[in-house]
Amino acid sequence: MREVAVLGVGQSTFGKMPEISAAELGRDAVLAAVKDAGISPRDIQVAYSSRLYDAVITSQDVLKEVGVTSIEMINVENACAGGSTAVRGVWKEIASGHYDLGIAIGVESMTTSPIARKLIPPQKDDIEGQLGLTMPALFGLLARRQMAECGATPEDFAQVSVKNHHHGCLNPYAQYKKEFTVEEILNSRMICDPITLLQCCPNTDGAAAVVLCSMDIARKHTTNPVKIAASALLSAGYSWKRKDITSSPLGVETARRAYEMAGCGPEDIDLVELHDAFSTEEILRYEDLGLCKPGEGVAFLRSGAPALGGKVPVNPSGGLLSLGHPLSASGVRVVAEVTTHLRGQAGKRQVQGAKVGLAHMLGGFAVGLEAGACGIHILTR
């Protein structure tokens, strides 16, 4: 397998933009990534695109807007991990030698989708979902278990949102650039006890793109390329096998494989971008990724380690809570964000001295399974 580098990254503005089509959002992200890579769109040899809602030939729809046709284009869907799946697809094409340069695109227009202003509906055969176990309800239950077993408090959960909204104020692409206090978070509208409105990620429109290439090509453009040291993607096992509902066997195993492939461990990670659809979730992911021991996620948060300036800044972009969550775009966007930090180009939100970063995305639900998929990429410089 050949070494693969990230040559260019880009994203559209994130926000509620029902007047802008998914193809236009994707075009903006592609043009930004191509410009960043210093190539022509016609240099693209293969494309993988992810889109969940209203998805029809997404790659073709987006790339025709920049004059790219007549190449191999693959369209994927993997819930919130769709973008990670697209990145992994291009990575495999280049690592295996099928192509030398390709692009991964993630795009979503949530405000024009069938779920606009609604919860994501459960499947018809999902009896728990039909009876009310939606995503907010699930993470509310998990939060209660965290409170009972790990000493978490509502203030701890609110502090995650405070942190990520602070980070979002430093990110020009964030949907929401506003500081909040713990009290303001807790006093926002209750969604599912103990989760309040400002602890939930918003519906968002947006797109992200990354240009990947062989290391030989990358070295023609830069003397210090960002390498994808690991790419791991797994689906979940049966949920009845779980001993602890606050632990994600899927996330733990995906992380283990990624660390093994990269030849590093959690102690080597300088920053993390992860799935924080709810503030309570981020604390669980600290443990899944090995940033701290099981049951110590709350203590890790309280130590200040995941804040900018801390030991391992988590979601310096603002995360899904502040940046927003266009589902299929997020898995591509986290890879772009980590790349930006490793290059030292993240501006006011820069993680100083970052050399190794982890991009995580988890999502999807099927009856009887813990989750749909988890994708993790480890990048180094």
Catalytic annotation, pick one of 167, 275, 325, 377: 325
Pairing of strands 72-76, 46-50: parallel
Backbone angles phi, psi at 140, to 5 degrees: -65, -40
Backbone angles phi, psi at 4, to 5 degrees: -120, 135
Active site residue 221: no
Catalytic annotation, pick one of 80, 192, 200, 292: 80
Rounded to an integer, what distance in angstroms lies between the CA atom of residue 380 and that of residue 357?
6
Backbone angles phi, psi at 253, to 5 degrees: -70, -40
Nearest Cα to 356, choosing from 378, 377, 335, 375?
A: 378
CA end-to-end span of the chain: 19
Rounded to an integer, what distance in angstroms lies between the CA atom of residue 109 and that of residue 203?
9
- Which residues pair with residue 9 across a beta bridge? 210
Active site residue 325: yes
Rounded to an integer, what distance in angstroms lies between the CA atom of residue 256 and that of residue 46?
29
**What one-letter code names the amino acid at 168?**
G
- Which residues pair with residue 190 across a beta bridge? 196
| Contact indicator for 255, 376 with CB cutoff of 8 Å | yes
Q: Catalytic positions, please?
A: 80, 325
